[in-house]
Structure formats: structure tokens, C-alpha cells
Structure 1
Amino acid sequence: MKKEAFKIFVVEDDEWYSKLLSHTLSLNPDHTVHTYKDGASMLADLSQQPDLITLDFRLPDYLGSDLFDKIKSYDPAIEVVVISEQQDIETAVDLLKKGAYDYLTKTDDIRDRLVHVLNQLGKHRKLTQKVETLQEEVEKKYDYPSTIIGQSDGIKKVFRLIEKATTTNISVMISGETGTGKEVVAKAIHYNSKLKKKPFVPVNMSAIPKELAESELFGHEKGAFTGATEKHLGKFEQAHGGTLFLDEIGEMDVALQAKLLRALQEKEITRVGGTGVVKVDCRIIVATHRDLLEEMKAGRFREDLYYRLLGLPLELPPLRSRDKDVVLLAKYFTEAFAHENDQPAKKLTKDAMHKLLSYSYPGNIRELKSIIELAVVMADEQEITPEDITFSQRDLMPEVLSEELTMKDYQLKIIRLYLKRYNDDIKQVADRLDIGQSTIYRLLKEHPIS
């Protein structure tokens, strides 16, 4: 593949100096150099998207600072090296603050210093290209229609809400049981939004000790407490301009909730041990497995904070309600595990798929992934059979006792669960439950399965 040329504009009204700069810059065969005698002609060619402009500070039609502002206004990514006859420290500092790459004076060693600047720019450009490549890989990783696996109605609804969430910076509240993929969805929202090139900073509130939570979110000054040997930037400052993801927000202490609310309302924080305020502006996405309305009623979650965070509510369905998404996810995890371990992918037999569909997955997607990885390891052949699949014994029927029902309703619920598990084999179900087949037929006749 042909290497893309590094395009340079030289803006210089002194013809001799223009030739000097042009010759020096053209010594590198990867450079293409265009010269201009005034600012207007250069501005007319900005659509050619130069990588670098060397800018004479005093031109016939423009003062360097004014022309610099126009260049950066057109495209902030264009690097500008200002070249001046006089060493004006105040002007140089002002331009560097505005974003000039360097400020050079027209001295005898201008050529050496210009080559040094170009070498630094080359390194910076390679680093930028590497970062952009990594960024593209991250964005591809969170291309949610291809990475969030599923075709159930519940997941299709999630896709629609993610799409709405990516078009604005509205706060998003993701709810769902543990293991349903709340952080994956949060990342999908961020990396498909206009903030995708900005930081995504996750914080798991359940994993932070109560006494350290404030410092973790808002940072601290040196000496703020024992062990604070240097200044620490909190997650809010780290996420400035990007997205702050507060996972398990329901675990946050009520006292800290008040400080969080103020930070969100005022868009400013104060570090622990500090007195000055720090302006912060970031998108907020929160997630919880708790019912925050119930937490609010119980006094464990502030009502004003709840409605400040609510924004766009997005509920992730549990895996047990996602129908044949279980099979799609199982195949995906089988292939992914094989790829990670440089092995040929093993196939799930039809009976293995039926067994997977018979389980209710209290641990949701996370549990299914563990089950599949173990099954791949246990399978002796290139096929995964029911015998290779092991479910957790801690909760074979997690939903059976979740409601207050009559004994007959409990019987019916258990029978239906076993029928699903054993592929509607009534004889096998009767043997397993130690009841007569006639009892099963009678109950199903009285309460047919819809």
C-alpha cells in the first residue's frame, strides 16, 4: 500500500526564506510542500487538508495570530508552526496556549530546529494513527447489532433503546439482573455516540469501600488523609468530556448520594481535602440490579437523585425470558472459546441444545458462558452432548417458590418445568417426580399449556 504523503503549506512573503523552508521540508520524500505569499491564498486552499502549516507571523494581509485563529477554526487538527523574525515571548506563549505546535524565530539554525520539529511531528503522527486504529477497533468491538447476541423481542427492544440513547447525551438508567450485560450495553451506547473518542470511565460502586467512595469519585488533594501522598484525580475528572458509568448505583451510601446530586446539578466537584471547585462535564450512565423505586420508598435512595439519573430507562431482560437466544449465545461462546484457545470449534448436538433450553439461568449470560466453556473442555469429541453440560446444583428451580401459589398450582408449575427440561417426555417426567402419568395428563387437561 502506498504511503500517504505528509502535506505541508509554507506561508512566507519573503521569497528567499520561502525557498529555504520549502527546500528543507522537501528533503524528506514523504513530504509534499506548497508555498504561499499571503494568507488569503493559503486559506483558499485549506480544503486540501494540509497536515502542517508553517506560518510567517507578519504577512501583507494578515497578522499571524488572526490567521492562526482562522486555520484552527477551519480544522483544529491542522498543526501550525509559527515562524517570526523577532523573539516575542508573550506572543509565543499566547499562541502555544491556543494550540500552536511550536514557535520558531528566524535564526541561523532555523533549518536544524525545523527538522527537529518535523521529527517530533512524525512521531506524534504515528502515535495518533496508532491511537485512531485502536479506537476504530474498540468501536468495532462495541458495534452492538453484531456483538450483542440475540433475536428475541426483548433484545430487539434493547437495540431500539440503545439507538435512541446514542443520538443524544441523555442520562441512561440500565436495570437488570446480575449477569445480563449492563456494562456491555453502557459501552455500546458510549462507543456508538458522538462521545466515542472521549473517555469511558466505569466505576463499580459495590466494589469500593464506603470510606473511599468519595475520593474515588471526586478525587483528593495531597495530604487530605493518611496515605494521600499525592493529588488524585477522581473518576469525574477522568471522564470529563466523555462518559461516566456508575455501575450498581443502588449500593451508594445515602450521604454520598447528596454530593453526587450536587455534582450533577452544578457540573462541578470539590476534591477531598480541597477548597476550590473543578468544573466537570460528562455523560452519566448508571446501572443497577436493584429496584430503585423500592429502595427510594425504603429511604435508601434519594428521590431527587433518582429522577435526576432516570433519563432514558433501559431494562435488560433475564436470559430465561429470551427464548432461543440461549442457543445463539451458546454457539457464540463455543466459537469464541475455541478461537481464544486456538482450537477447532465444537458443535452442540440437538439434544445438548434442548438441555440448554431447559434451564432457567439464575446467573444469566455470565452463567451460560461459564457452562459452555466447561462443556467445551469436557467434550471428548468435536460435538458437545448433554452429558458434557453441567448446571449449577444450587438453584435448579429458582422461580418455583418465588410466588405464593396453591399446592395444585405449584404441582403444575413443577410439572411444566420438568416437561420443558425433558422435551415433553411424560414417562420420564413421571419417573423423575415419582408420580403417575395419569396425574400429569389430568393436570395438563385441566390447565393446558398455551
Structure 2
Amino acid sequence: METYRIFIVDDDPWYGEILAYHLSLNPDHQVTRFASGKACLASLHQKPHLITIDYSMPDMNGAELFKQIKAQHPDIPVIVISGQDDVSTAIEMLKLGVSDYLVKDDHTKDLLWNAILRIRENQQLKMQVEQLREELGQKHEFGNVIKGNSPVIRKIFSLMEKAAKTNINVSVTGETGTGKEVVAKAIHYNSERKRKPFVAVNMAAIPRELVESELFGHEKGSFTGAIGRKIGKFEEANKGTLFLDEIAELDLSLQSKLLRVLQERELERVGGNESVKLDVRLIVATHKNLPEEVRAGKFREDLYYRIMGLPIDLPPLRERGNDILLLAKYFLEEFAKENKATAKGLTAAAREKLMQYHYPGNVRELKAGMELAAVLCDDAEIDAKDISFAPARTGSMLTGEEKTLRQYTVQIVKMFLEKYDNNVLKVADKLDVGKSTIYKMIQDKEIIL
């Protein structure tokens, strides 16, 4: 195990020796004794993992020594061991931030041993969290989250890097399946906010009557069913990043409240009077054309300019050239790793077919197509015949057997539900039908989700 360095500061050589002997019974403890505060401070460059200090020292008291230790190394935990059974002194030191305050008596050795065990466990947990955060940051490096080397993607990398260096709001646009949330996460985990929360909200997936409570929270009793206080997504993301996907779906009545929260950097929960201060970096995304939504009166112009910030428009896959083949190879390799198989190659005919396809589902569709091809192919290389993408059903809907108008209606609703991940509210808006119509089809088992 790694050596755990402990400094003991006590001007009583007899008592210091007892503590040092007791702690040295653990073979991975390396204990060093100091008879004065100044001697301890002069050796802080050795970076001990923990320090115990006597409160009453000849050259300085425990409070003075603690403050000087923290000024140089704020992360080193300090335990005070005092001959004074004085509650006010203990409270003073605990308020300053010492990890523990022990009184010298017959039980001190055991109490100190347990306190060190507790502190070591906390330190190990913090190290594990830091390691996970570092791995998460590496996972979200721009080149890892978006595979590609085309000029349009290099431009996207440049914009993401600029966004990560500042706190400017970011608006991400692009077709479904281009990776808008992936970009938002990468910006967050490469920014100074990476150690704070990343909270993602799909505005289209929340019933309209619940959006205000989801975003801003509510107090107990603020409406029927509010059995307790609820912290909203803005508060969850405080000090971090809030990602609002499909921002164009936000009801006009709530757009004004969102604008006010963004302007004033504070909110009031539904049914509450308390103002909650906010420090949130906002990233929004939509597949809609927001300027057109503004012109149509469906989106507030002042809110549009507030959230627009740095715009990042993700290109559709069909415009990314050879990135298609690079991504196809990557997806095949990842699928092989997950299934403990050998990655398959692509024949010239397969590569040509991939380059000629239109990809209405973008990167998501390519990934699904490559995984299917890897399963269907019996050879070492995937050929054109092994690659099949979902046909464009709108052109073939009226071919084949004749159906009733109701059957065609159900088929259209099914197609849109599949396209929009079974989001009933979004499909109802897209088809301009009541959501109750779709729910009735589901209830009557005409559509199985």
C-alpha cells in the first residue's frame, strides 16, 4: 500500500512518542514528530497526508498553526489534540475547519486511530471521484465524442473549444440524430464547470402543465399533488450546466419566465417567495429553425437573442464526406468489442453504398445500420448486400394492399412515433392532431409502444 505520511506536532516529547508509536503499528503509516509549529511549517513541502497538532504550543497556539497550514496546503486534514477540556476552544477550532478535536485522556490513542481511519476513507473516496471525473473528461474530449476529420467537423471542434473556454450560452442546432446532446456534454466536461452537475432536460418529453415545476421547482402545497418541496432542474444545475433540448417546444406562457430567470440569475419556486440565486451555464438545442419560429410568433424574440449565445450548427451526415466511412469503421470496431468478436471490414462495394446513401437519421441511423450488417454478414468483410437501411416509408405507403383511411392514419402516427422516440406531444404537434387522438389509438391497442 502507499505510504501514508502523518505529522505529529507536540512539544511534550513523552506524549508525542506515545502517539507516534501507536500510529506506527500500522505498517503503511510513516510518522514524523515535531516539537514546534515552526518546525512543522518548515517541512510542509514533504506534503503529509494528515497532521495532528497540540493546541498549546510554546511558539504559537493551535488556531495560528492551523491557519498557516491551511494557507499553504488547504487540502491537508488537521486533527487538534488538546489538554484543555474547553468547549469554546473546541467549537472555535471546528468552525475554523479542523477535521476533529480530541482531548488528551486515556482514550485519546483509540479515538485518534479511528479518526484517522475515517479521514483516510474520505480521502480515498475523493481520489476515486477525481479519477472518475478525469476519466469522464477524457471520454468527452472533442475527438472522442465526435468522430470525423472533415472540414465542417473541424470547424465544429473549433467552436466547441471556444465555448468551453467561456461561460457564454450556446445554442446547438441540427437534424435529429446529429449529436446535439453529445456536443453539449463535451462542452461542459471540457469547461471549468466540469466538476459540477450537467443536467439535461428534453422539453418535448415533459407534459406542458408540469414544465414550470420541472424547471423551477415548487413548494409544498403549491398545487394539488405537491406533497413536498421539489428542487427544479435550474437549481440541480447550479454552478454547472443546464442543457435544454428541443427548446422550441417551450410554451409561450413560460418563455417569459425563463427569460426573467436568465436575466436576473435567480428564480422563485412555484408557490414560493424565496429568491434562489443561480449560476448556471445554459446550452439549448433544437432541430427547428428558431428564427422562423420567432417570425411565426411561436418563440419570443427577446428570449431568442438571450439564449442564442454562440451558435453551433451540426451538419447532417450526408454533408460530411469521408467521415461516413470513418464512422462506419468506428461503429463496427465498437460493436465487435462489445460482442467479443473480430471487427469486420468493408468491401469497395459496401463503401460505395455507404457514401451514396442520404442518411435521414444521420449518425444514429449509420450506427444502427452497421450493427445490423455486422450481425447479418457471414464473411470477414461486409458487402453492399449486407447493408440495409430503413426505406423511406412515405413514398411507399400507398403501394401494395389497399387500406382504410383509419389504417393509413394509424400507420402514419406509428411512423412519426418511431421517428420521435414515442414522444406523443411532439408527434401531436407535428401532425397537428390532438394528443388525445394518439392516446386513444394506444388505449385501443391500434398502436403498441
Give the alignment partner of residue 325 of structure 1, picking from 312, 323, 348: 323
1:53 correspondence with 2:45: no
Give the alignment partner of residue 253 of structure 1, picking from 248, 251, 254: 251
Partner AA of 2:328 in structure 1: A
> How far apart, in 1, do the equivalents of 2:253 and 2:45 lie?
54
Of the structure 1 ranges 101-110 and 221-230, higher mean CA displacement relative to structure 2 is found in 221-230
Please name the residue that 1:37 is paired with. Answer: 35
Does the 8 Å contact 1:362/1:395 carry over to 2? no
Report the 3-state secondary structure (helix = DSSP H, G, I; strand = E; otherwise coil) of the residue aligned with 2:333.
helix
> How far apart, in 1, do the equivalents of 2:47 and 2:255 lie?
48
> How far apart, in 2, do the equivalents of 1:260 and 1:364 lie?
31
> How far apart, in 2, do the equivalents of 1:89 and 1:303 lie?
61
Give the TM-score normalised by the residue count of structure 1.
0.81
Unaligned runs of 5+ in 2: 396-449
1:171-182 → structure 2 map (5 Å cutoff): 171-182=169-180
Please name the residue that 1:241 is paired with. Answer: 239
1:270-419 → structure 2 map (5 Å cutoff): 270-394=268-392
Unaligned runs of 5+ in 1: 398-450
1:69 correspondence with 2:70: no
Give the alignment partner of residue 19 of structure 2, picking from 7, 21, 24: 21
Partner AA of 1:185 in structure 2: V
Structure 1 pair 320–43 and aligned structure 2 pair: CA distance change class (3 A): same
> How far apart, in 2, do the equivalents of 1:84 and 1:273 lie?
50
Partner AA of 1:237 in structure 2: E
Partner AA of 2:124 in structure 1: K
Does the 8 Å contact 2:170/2:311 carry over to 1? yes
Partner AA of 2:16 in structure 1: S
Structure 1 pair 61–263 and aligned structure 2 pair: CA distance change class (3 A): farther
Structure 1 pair 64–284 and aligned structure 2 pair: CA distance change class (3 A): farther
> How far apart, in 1, do the equivalents of 2:103 and 2:295 lie?
68
Report the 3-state secondary structure (helix = DSSP H, G, I; strand = E; otherwise coil) of the residue aligned with 1:24.
helix
Offset, 1:179: 0.8
Report the 3-state secondary structure (helix = DSSP H, G, I; strand = E; otherwise coil) of the residue aligned with 1:10.
strand
Offset, 1:281: 1.4
Report the 3-state secondary structure (helix = DSSP H, G, I; strand = E; otherwise coil) of the residue aligned with 2:227.
coil
Please name the residue that 1:262 is paired with. Answer: 260
Offset, 1:21: 2.5
Report the 3-state secondary structure (helix = DSSP H, G, I; strand = E; otherwise coil) of the residue aligned with 1:392.
coil
Of the structure 1 ranges 376-385 and 39-48, higher mean CA displacement relative to structure 2 is found in 39-48
Identity over aligned pairs, percent: 55
> In the TM superposition, what whole-angstrom CA distance separates every residue of 1:2-31 from its partner, at most 9, and x where no partner exists?
x32122222223333322332222221112
1:186 correspondence with 2:184: yes
Does the 8 Å contact 1:195/1:243 carry over to 2? yes
Offset, 1:41: 3.0
> In the TM superposition, what whole-angstrom CA distance separates every residue of 1:175-202 from its partner, at most 9, and x where no partner exists?
1111111111111111122222222221
1:169 correspondence with 2:167: yes
Please name the residue that 2:194 is paired with. Answer: 196
Structure 1 pair 127–35 and aligned structure 2 pair: CA distance change class (3 A): same
> How far apart, in 1, do the equivalents of 2:85 and 2:290 lie?
62
Please name the residue that 1:224 is paired with. Answer: 222
Aligned CA-pair RMSD: 2.2
> In the TM superposition, what whole-angstrom CA distance separates every residue of 1:305-327 from its partner, at most 9, and x where no partner exists?
22222222211111111011111
- Number of residues of Structure 1 aligned to a counterpart in Structure 2: 395
Structure 1 pair 311–37 and aligned structure 2 pair: CA distance change class (3 A): farther
> In the TM superposition, what whole-angstrom CA distance separates every residue of 1:177-233 from its partner, at most 9, and x where no partner exists?
111111111111111222222222211112112222222222233333333333332
Report the 3-state secondary structure (helix = DSSP H, G, I; strand = E; otherwise coil) of the residue aligned with 1:4.
coil
Please name the residue that 2:103 is paired with. Answer: 105
> How far apart, in 2, do the equivalents of 1:116 and 1:6 lie?
15
Offset, 1:172: 1.6
Offset, 1:93: 4.3
Offset, 1:91: 4.8
1:75-114 → structure 2 map (5 Å cutoff): 75-93=73-91, 95-114=93-112
Structure 1 pair 43–284 and aligned structure 2 pair: CA distance change class (3 A): farther
Partner AA of 1:60 in structure 2: P
> How far apart, in 1, do the equivalents of 2:112 and 2:358 lie?
67
Please name the residue that 1:132 is paired with. Answer: 130
Does the 8 Å contact 2:145/2:182 carry over to 1? no
Offset, 1:336: 0.7
> In the TM superposition, what whole-angstrom CA distance separates every residue of 1:318-358 from its partner, at most 9, and x where no partner exists?
11110111111111111111111122111111111111111
